[in-house]
Structure formats: C-alpha cells, structure tokens
Amino acid sequence: MRSVITHRVIAGTLVVVSLVGISTASAQIPDEFTNLQVLPKDTSKRELVSVMREFAGALGVRCNFCHVGENPNSLEGYDFASDEPKPKKTAREMMKMAGQINDTVLPAAGVDARVRCVTCHRGLKEPETLDKVLLHSIEEGGTEAAQQKYRELREEYYGMGAYNFGPRTLNTVAETIAQEKKDVDGAIALMKLNVEFNPDAAYSHLMLGQLYAETGDKDAAIASIERSLEIEPDNNWAKRMLERVKSM
C-alpha cells in the first residue's frame, strides 16, 4: 500500500485543483487521523492532502463531496473522520479496487501501467460515457432531449477529456436507435447534429446518406454521400452506395 500512496502523492502534485483559500482550508485538516481504513495509519498530513487533491481533481468535486461540514470554502469545523457521507464509503471501495488492479491484476497481465481515479472519472463524479448518457436522455425525453444534452455537455466539457465528442459517439447512438428502436428519423436528427460539429467526418456523412435513403429521400441521400466522397474520394463503398441510391 505504501507504494500505491507514494504514486498517488507524486501524481497528486501534478493535479491543479481550483479551491478557494487552499492554504486556509488545509489548516483545518487535523495533523493526526483517527479513521484511516485503507490508507496506511502512518500517512502524513502532506501525503493525505495530496491524495485528496488528486481525488478532487479526478472527480471534479470539492472536499464537501465526501466530508461533513458547513463551510466548504474554509473547511472550518469539518468532521473529516465521519463516515456519514455515502461517497466517502464508495471512495474507500474504489481505492481497494484500484489497489488490487495495480498490485495484482496489471502485474499478472504484464502491463506496465497504473490506474488512478482520473483513469475512469476524467473530471466526472459519475464516469459514464457520452453515448450512454445520450441513450439515457433518449429513454427519458426523446431525441430532442438527447440533442440538447449533447450541446450542453459539449459547451461545458469540450476539450477537457471528460467525454468523447468525436464523430464516433453520435454515430453509435444513431445506429443504436435506428436498429433497435427503428427510429430512423431520430437517427437522422442525431447525424445532422454530428456533421454540424464534425463536418469533415466522411463516415458520418455516409451514414447520414444511408439513413436518408431508408426514408426514401433520394436527393438528401445523394447529397450526403457525395459530401462523404468529397472528403474521402477513394472510398469504394461510398461510390457503390452512391450508384445504388441514384438508381432508386
């Protein structure tokens, strides 16, 4: 466990966490700890603060996510030993899981790597992939809700690594609802959103053309496939599809 803590402390020093009054907040953390169940009992204050900073940065949260108190800015009066918050209990289990993976699973597989909180969380409290988030939005509120969700998440998280905003994500969601829900119109709406944000994704234009063809919109299908071929002119599959659509 000591090797795991050392790794986390080193990694933690590389994480920039936006906390108000960090020096004041650190002063509220006790010098001795009474409820360490996963970290070594002799963990120093400096080590613990570094580990906690890494956790906060990885999940995009602050100390009050896992600890009980009234003032999250200064941490004055916080009961850090309390096990009341559910996220704190969850964090312990996640630490145990990461320790087992790093100390046993990866070495046994011959993999020279280590997992950290950020490996899965990527700045999110709940590390769900974007396609799953959008499919859930569709179940809750339909395709329009998913489009709105995509725009909101892109506005907030684009460039941060939390979600994959590349064309493949919306390709996957559109294909899923077209095949499993037979919602071709919904899939078209998502693919139009996709090419709006990823205009140079040849496959996305091609897929949109396929969907248009399924609805019988020949002109729109031809336009999308031709756009795909402008981007990727040597795609023989797209050439054959264009011929088939023109012969409809």
Tens of pLDDT, residues 46-74: 888 888 888 888 888 888 888 888 887 77
User: pLDDT digit string (tens) for 126-164?
Assistant: 889 999 999 999 999 999 999 999 999 999 999 998 999
Higher pLDDT, 74 or 104: 104
Q: What is the CA radius of gyration of the chain?
A: 24
What's the farthest any 2 CA atoms get from each other in the chain? Answer: 78
**DSSP code at position 34:** S
Q: What is the mean pLDDT of the chain?
A: 87
What pLDDT shows up at residue 80? 84
Q: Whole-angstrom Cα distance, residue 241 to residue 224?
A: 11
Residues 6+ apart with CB under 8 A from 144: 189
| Predicted confidence (pLDDT) at residue 19 exceeds the cutoff of 50 | no
Cα–Cα distance for residue pair 231/153, rounded to 1 Å: 27
DSSP string, 107-159: HHHT------HHHHHTT-SS---HHHHHHHHHHHHHHHHHHHHHHHHHHHHTT
Structure tokens at 43: 């963990």
pLDDT at 27 over 80: no
More confident residue, 37 or 145: 145
Q: Which domains can be identified in the chain, with CATH numbers?
A: 2-121 (no CATH), 130-246 (1.25.40.10)
Assign 10 a pLDDT band (cuts: 50, 70, 90). Answer: very low
Confidence check: pLDDT of 18 > 50? no
pLDDT of residue 23 exceeding 80, the answer is no
pLDDT of residue 26: 61
- End-to-end CA gap in the chain: 66
φ/ψ bin of 163: left (φ > 0), alpha (ψ from -120 to 50), beta (otherwise): beta
Residue 68, helix vs strand vs coil:
strand
What pLDDT, on the 0 to 100 scale, is given for residue 45?
Answer: 84
Residue 190 reports pLDDT greater than 50: yes
φ and ψ of 76, to 5 deg: -65, 130
**Percent residues over pLDDT 90 in the chain:** 60
pLDDT of residue 29: 78
**Burial grade of 248 (CB within 10 A; 0-12, 13-18, 19 or more):** exposed
- Rounded CA separation 213/224 (Å): 10
Query: Quick one: pLDDT band at residue 25, thresholds 50, 70, 90?
Result: low
